[in-house]
Amino acid sequence: MNFSWRRALIVARREFLTTVKRKAFLFTLIAVPLYFGGVMTLATRGSMSDRRDSLRSFTRLGVVDSSGLLTGAAPEITTRLAPDPTGAPEKLETYRTEVVFYADQAKLERALRSAEIAQGLTVSADYLATGATRRYARSTGTFNSASSVRPIERWLARSLLAGHADSLRIERATRPASGMDLYTLGKDDRFEVKDERREMLEFMVPFMVSILLGVCIMTGGQYLLQGVSEEKESRILESLLCALSPEDLLAGKLVGLGGVGLALVAVWLGVGFAVSAPMLALAQFPLSPGLLALAVVYFLLGYLFFASIMTGIGAVTNNMREAQQFSMMFSFANLLPIIVLTQILSKPDGALAVTLSMLPFTAATAMMLRLGTPSSAVPAWQIALSLALLALSGWLVLRGAARVFRIGLLMTGKTPNLPEIWRWARAGR
């Protein structure tokens, strides 16, 4: 039976409609963006909340001054903090800490144990020469300890300079870089002011796109793996192959489930841009059509590559459990760039980042991360080479998977070993 696009499209339509009507698809469509959005919101707001709570509970500081340098120090520490990373100066929240002096260490420790003070500070007699101090607290969080030590450092600096400099000089000494602008070399080879909020947006869009690509590629591949394994295990394929050729069935499943993945990407990106549109407009963030087009191309080629592998796995295994065990390593490889995210962001033009953006298993996610790094300007030849290698690998894997698919569909019993699978992929027999 010769290959027919008409029969393949019938299979594609059936696969698409059957998949999108499943409750699992609707759950994925709604739950995945909510999950990632919730995790990111908790991570960002949680850190700010911990810092505010730390400053809010830091109401009194006990001090034992053995140096005599803090005589006449300010009796209060004032700390101002923006309620969120995008907070404007007029919206700063103010936290006040009373400073109480004690005659000796024993009295300081008793006050700390009885919760009269939140933290304690002892200043050594030779502090000016050695800088030796001790800070005491009943308990402190693993990551929010710095939230309360910075106000103490500024208070110490002001106290040491009091009477020796005017108020403006003291303010500049305690906050020497508060008005410093950082200029960095942009992608257009011009130095420009570093805008952290804008850079965050410039990174977050490709970052989220790369995660979506990885999730959708895996989702489409898993749908394909599940469909082939279930139909083979239930012997439905024997009936289908009476009216279809293996090529019709393979092409239909690839097109239909690829459409499901594209639908997921389109809905998630559409909702994401609709929700973030006010913030993007406020930051005057331009959405790059070229970047979105590249994301679509990488999705199509990445899906072709992984879906072909999943098809071959589904064809040679005897049940869904075996298929999932074999597919796990390939699914893991797709998200490897997310695992080494910090190395890619710190050196987007380094050997690791470039290598991962060239390997077919990691090209889609790694390249989108590199394109999203503000300090990175990916050469056009690297993008072209990455796409060419991914397309070539997808085509070769598709040809091998088609041969394995044709032979393995009707095989039951013992799972073939690797030499047998390799012989099928090369010779189709």
Please list the alpha-helical segments (H only) found in 196-288: 196-233, 236-240, 246-282
Nearest to 312 by CA among 298, 330, 287: 330
pLDDT of residue 192: 64
Asked if 128 and 67 touch (Cβ cutoff 8 Å), the reply is yes
Could you report the per-residue pLDDT of 51-109, keeping only the tens digit for each?
777 778 888 999 999 988 888 788 898 887 765 544 444 467 888 899 999 999 899 99
Please list the alpha-helical segments (H only) found in 317-379: 320-334, 336-339, 341-346, 351-358, 363-372
pLDDT of residue 355: 92
Which one has a higher pLDDT value, 200 or 388? 388
Which one has a higher pLDDT value, 226 or 281? 226
Could you report the per-residue pLDDT of 37-66, keeping only the tens digit for each?
777 666 566 556 677 777 788 889 999 999
Mean pLDDT of 11-20: 84
Tokens 């380094």, residue?
Answer: 350
pLDDT of residue 86: 45
- Count Cα neighbours of 306 within 13 Å in the Cβ-side half-sphere: 36
pLDDT of residue 233: 65
Could you report the per-residue pLDDT of 302-341, keeping only the tens digit for each?
878 887 887 777 777 766 666 677 777 777 777 788 888 7
C-alpha to C-alpha distance for 86 and 29, rounded to whole angstroms: 30
Options 1.20.1270, 3.10.20, 3.40.190, 1.20.120; CATH for 55-180 is: 3.40.190
The two tokens of residue 309 are: 């592998």
pLDDT of residue 87: 44
Asked if 218 and 306 touch (Cβ cutoff 8 Å), the reply is yes
Domain boundaries of the chain, sorted by first residue: 5-41+195-427, 55-180
| Pairing of the two strands 60-65 and 93-101 | parallel
pLDDT of residue 413: 58
Produce one character per residue of 118-128: b if its CB has 16 or more CB atoms within 10 Å, e if not.
Answer: bbbbbbbeebe
pLDDT confidence tier of residue 262, bands split at 50, 70 and 90: confident
